[in-house]
Structure 1
């Protein structure tokens, strides 16, 4: 006989209190090295197979060309392996199943903040990119309404206005650096759409301070470790302080306005000032707003620049891919002005296929560094708690057993017929699961707007040999810019077809 207890079961209520701010991170080089030493010493199981020998050659080689090292590791050891870089063993997980494991099914086993993404906190603070757990979930829930379709459409008008002005200054047969040009354009768009700032007014120095701060992350690992007057880290902290003064000052000014005025401002800053937590009714502090907006400024402007740059690089190398794009534009748009409604994947499907293929070949956020928070097993291999681990969209997008001829530019991979055949987890340019890029729709619309505006007026001609050296910090970008010639839309040169 089963005896039922008369004592009522205690139900655990979800914790709806406001989560505490994440603990600060140490950026002392010695502290960081000691942390990695302890992680290796105290590991609770062996590392996955790989190359554990200390090697300066491997470390420098990985900095120059991580893709070839990751693909070689995958071929030799399988989807989970270890490489010792500097003095630190780093675990890598590649492939569709590995991506799904890290991003979706077992995401709770990993910390973003304790991975090297925490290195972004001197600039970004405790934004969505650098936090975990309840703090991250609360911030994301409060920010989601800012990225609804109607809000994105409002930003679309700002995008089109800035793009029309920027492209309107081009002249036939002039040379432009499409990377540098897009970088400045994307920053202007972000300043207006995110902050409501006038890029040509007194707030315009936000752009130069942001670029000065961001330059720190373009330095190699050794220079990032330097401290003291004149060091890259010192310049980063000074530029961040100037940004804080301007942005926190703007937040204070906006606080004095009514909630309705902020809701109707049309920019993200105003919306966040008016936003409240659905559970406890609390709003975001000035520091929280500053951190979230800076995170979006960082993520949006760099990723858009990378995608637009490599899109025109590949179209210059593959001029035959231009034909369906121009035919689609003529059929859908004719000669009428662009509107935000035209900037959807459904409106221009041929362009969307090209953009998707560019994000496969050159995913801006090419690596996802984490730290393992609990031991786990994947593909029959155990991974110890406490060690650094990364997935890589760039490497996963170039696996020949997933993507036939992965180095080839083939937009048809993403046709209506072929896209459903792509394995789950194989294509992750925007991450996945609860960490899918919150600004994805904003970024996609911006790329479509820039690409469509240029293609309706001009054709960009690349270098004769079609070569480009890629750097990986902080996002994928051409190491020496991307100089291109502005040609008439119907003109053609043999330089375009050089591979």
Structure 2
């Protein structure tokens, strides 16, 4: 079952003071004494969300983890909160209570003019020149790993999620920071794993032997390493990798970002890139295994564009992989890697006939919106044809928001498309993806969706 509607996961719970004004006029559930709806959310987040939608509609409050969150569901809510024309909402105050010990001052945790200036400075890393460099690096790394998968798994049987997670970490070490694989790369990778797990740890203080303690220790290691490397790369040691681009990034007045700013942005982007791509690639592979006809369509498209098995996808060829992109978009609809997006209201605002007071923790849910049957007929059916150009034009612009929207739209979304297309090009021209008949993995909803058993697949050489 898809974990498609999770606006109340532990990672996204309201963790600040309740607003001074009452929320009594907002429909919703108080849940059990003391714990509120926390246990119901933890046990089955999608079921809880479906129940809330059916019972209260698309605006409702939830008492969980000690605080109230007001959930706003649907394209209009997404546009209001994400586009944020009137600067009503703070991303920093929405995400901060969850991530500030681990990923402080990353792009997602700053607002308005500060965010705009830093985002503009960092966008240099995603210009065509650097992107061509990343494409070459990704092609080499993915091709090498596809051969290794075949050699390591002579019967083709493997757990896909841990394999693709290791691959995306290795690719990030290569194309993002130009770091050879080895002990140092392993330490960096482990630090990111510990930090992501700590983001949803129930114990929020970094006590020894706790997950939060390991996460904070991992952050300290990364801060020290990236700090030293930023200085070294500014002195001429850097190349075309993303980190070196960030190290040399300047503001509009020509001033370099501070070393600490480079470090904070780099740590956040590395986390956001590899974990979300791991989740969405796993969803796509699962769906392609269930729908071999789409595997074959993408396989034929890749062969037509590249000219043969296992050939690199040129940067200029990426736009030609239209069916591959449609399938990826449908995977992102089916199970978005960030099912819910928190904000905090800075002023009172009106929506859907309700006045929601300043200070309220607000959540919009790509996961829930992507499964509204009035927008997506038969929402549990995997159908990439939902993303033809004609179909996209006919829908509300904010009906599909896996990358967020507005000023905080994911800076690396084009990198994500590129990595998935290159992965599919090398994988599907070497292997046919199969899963056992009747096999349906159970998915963990948070902090980022993943199959609890790792997703058992068989890669059969073509």
Give the TM-score, by structure 2 length: 0.91
**Which residue of the partner structure matches residue 210 of structure 1?**
192
Quote the Cα distance in structure 1 between the aligned partners of 2:90 and 2:231. 33
1:266-415 correspondence to structure 2 within 5 Å: 266-278=240-252, 280-335=253-308, 337-341=311-315, 344=318, 346-415=319-388
Quote the Cα distance in structure 1 between the aligned partners of 2:307 and 2:161. 28
Quote the Cα distance in structure 1 between the aligned partners of 2:121 and 2:320. 30
Going from structure 1 to structure 2, the CA distance change for 1:196 and 1:107 (only over 3 Å counts) comes to: farther
Question: How much does 1:327 deviate?
Answer: 2.4
Q: Does 1:73 align with 2:52?
A: yes
Decide which of 159, 169, 172 is 1:187's aligned counterpart.
169
User: CA contact under 8 A between 1:226 and 1:232: conserved in structure 2?
Assistant: no
Decide which of 155, 160, 166 is 2:139's aligned counterpart.
160
Deviation readout 1:21-62 (Å, 9 max, x if unpaired)? xxxxxxxxxxx97x43xx24x126645211134464832221
**Which residue of the partner structure matches residue 394 of structure 2?**
421
User: CA contact under 8 A between 1:44 and 1:375: conserved in structure 2?
Assistant: no
Deviation readout 1:184-241 (Å, 9 max, x if unpaired)? 111111112222211226444211222223232354xxx3335522121111111211
User: CA contact under 8 A between 1:54 and 1:85: conserved in structure 2?
Assistant: no
Quote the Cα distance in structure 2 between the aligned partners of 1:469 and 1:267. 37
**Which residue of the partner structure matches residue 209 of structure 2?**
230
SS class of match (1:123): coil
Going from structure 1 to structure 2, the CA distance change for 1:373 and 1:69 (only over 3 Å counts) comes to: same
Quote the Cα distance in structure 2 between the aligned partners of 1:125 and 1:295. 8
Give RMSD over aligned pairs.
Answer: 2.1
Q: Does 1:252 align with 2:231?
A: yes
User: CA contact under 8 A between 1:79 and 1:98: conserved in structure 2?
Assistant: no
Quote the Cα distance in structure 2 between the aligned partners of 1:128 and 1:199. 27
Q: Does 1:88 align with 2:81?
A: no
Going from structure 1 to structure 2, the CA distance change for 1:469 and 1:454 (only over 3 Å counts) comes to: same
Name the count of aligned residue pairs. Answer: 444
Going from structure 1 to structure 2, the CA distance change for 1:343 and 1:201 (only over 3 Å counts) comes to: farther
SS class of match (1:418): helix
Decide which of 10, 17, 30 is 1:52's aligned counterpart.
30
Quote the Cα distance in structure 1 between the aligned partners of 2:43 and 2:450. 13
Quote the Cα distance in structure 1 between the aligned partners of 2:307 and 2:49. 45
SS class of match (2:199): helix
Quote the Cα distance in structure 2 between the aligned partners of 1:105 and 1:244. 32
Decide which of 73, 77, 91 is 1:98's aligned counterpart.
77
Quote the Cα distance in structure 2 between the aligned partners of 1:351 and 1:402. 22
Structure 1 residues not aligned, in runs of 5+? 1-31, 490-499
Give the TM-score, by structure 1 length: 0.84
Quote the Cα distance in structure 2 between the aligned partners of 1:488 and 1:339. 20
Going from structure 1 to structure 2, the CA distance change for 1:84 and 1:202 (only over 3 Å counts) comes to: closer
**Which residue of the partner structure matches residue 494 of structure 1?**
none
Q: Does 1:132 align with 2:111?
A: yes
**Which residue of the partner structure matches residue 149 of structure 2?**
170
Quote the Cα distance in structure 2 between the aligned partners of 1:79 and 1:416. 28
Q: Which moved more, 1:383-392 or 1:237-246?
A: 237-246
Going from structure 1 to structure 2, the CA distance change for 1:124 and 1:463 (only over 3 Å counts) comes to: farther
User: CA contact under 8 A between 2:197 and 2:447: conserved in structure 1?
Assistant: no
Deviation readout 1:330-375 (Å, 9 max, x if unpaired)? 332231622333652x311111111110000011111101111111
Quote the Cα distance in structure 1 between the aligned partners of 2:439 and 2:138. 30
SS class of match (1:179): helix
> After TM superposition, where is structure 1 displaced by more than 4 Å over at least 4 residues in a row?
44-47
Q: Does 1:198 align with 2:172?
A: no
With a CA cutoff of 8 Å and minimum separation of 6, indicate the structure with the bigger relative contact order: 2
Quote the Cα distance in structure 2 between the aligned partners of 1:63 and 1:423. 31
SS class of match (2:342): strand
Structure 2 residues not aligned, in runs of 5+? 1-13
User: CA contact under 8 A between 1:116 and 1:370: conserved in structure 2?
Assistant: yes
Going from structure 1 to structure 2, the CA distance change for 1:270 and 1:182 (only over 3 Å counts) comes to: same
Question: How much does 1:383 deviate?
Answer: 0.8
SS class of match (2:37): helix
User: CA contact under 8 A between 1:254 and 1:270: conserved in structure 2?
Assistant: yes
Going from structure 1 to structure 2, the CA distance change for 1:45 and 1:365 (only over 3 Å counts) comes to: closer
Going from structure 1 to structure 2, the CA distance change for 1:392 and 1:107 (only over 3 Å counts) comes to: farther
User: CA contact under 8 A between 2:342 and 2:364: conserved in structure 1?
Assistant: yes
Quote the Cα distance in structure 2 between the aligned partners of 1:267 and 1:321. 34
Q: Which moved more, 1:381-390 or 1:60-69?
A: 60-69
Question: How much does 1:83 deviate?
Answer: 1.4
SS class of match (1:119): helix
